[in-house]
Amino acid sequence: MTAIRSTILAFAALLALCLPASAKVASHSATGFTLTFAAEVAADPKAAFDAFVRIGEWWDAAHSYSGDAKNLSLEPKPGGCWCETLPDGGFVGHMSVAQSLPGKSLLLKGGLGPLAFMGVEGAMRVSFEAKGAATLVKMTYAVGGRDVKDFKELPTLVDGVLGAGFKRYTNYASTGKP
């Protein structure tokens, strides 16, 4: 029975690598934007959730303040933080955990990257839904507030960074490698 399950999971992993993740700017206005991402990963919902939480294993170091993704952590607990340690005791709190339902969903609040300096509010919801031997992972990031350029440039930039990160995550969740 375990050999059959292993074969099915291996096939699902290969299939997941062949299927492109969908990503798009779902909505955009002068007061904010919403990005959506979805893909199937070759893991059960709990394993897919756990892989997402191990953010330092799959996040791209080029999109960190420290230049080393291993400095990133995500604690799915009350008051938890998607944080990054910096030299000399410094840190960056990228987002805070608002809700954690292991194997089901994760809700994070905050502004990523340049959004942190703008006084905007962001909410990221990541959901995990069983699809046979795989899991459909959906990530939505909604940002609202005031941008002097009416959010004309930021949605595409943030979509590029999060889209690349989501692809790295789906690879990691399916194969163990970003």
Encoding tokens for residue 152?
């004309």
Distance CA 60, CA 119 (A): 25
| pLDDT at site 24 | 87
Based on the structure, what is the number of domains in the chain? 1
Range of the domain at 128: 2-175
Encoding tokens for residue 29?
């206005």
| pLDDT at site 58 | 98
% helix / strand / coil in the chain, to the nearest 5?
35, 35, 25
- In order along its 178 residues, the chain shows pLDDT tens digits of 443 333 223 333 333 333 446 678 999 999 999 999 999 999 999 999 999 999 999 999 999 999 999 999 999 999 999 999 999 999 999 999 999 999 999 999 999 988 999 989 999 999 999 999 999 999 999 999 999 999 999 999 999 999 999 999 999 999 999 9
Encoding tokens for residue 30?
């002068």
Distances from the Cα of 1 to the Cα of 6, 16, 110, 173, angstroms: 9, 22, 44, 23
| pLDDT at site 88 | 96
CATH of the domain at 130: 3.30.530.20
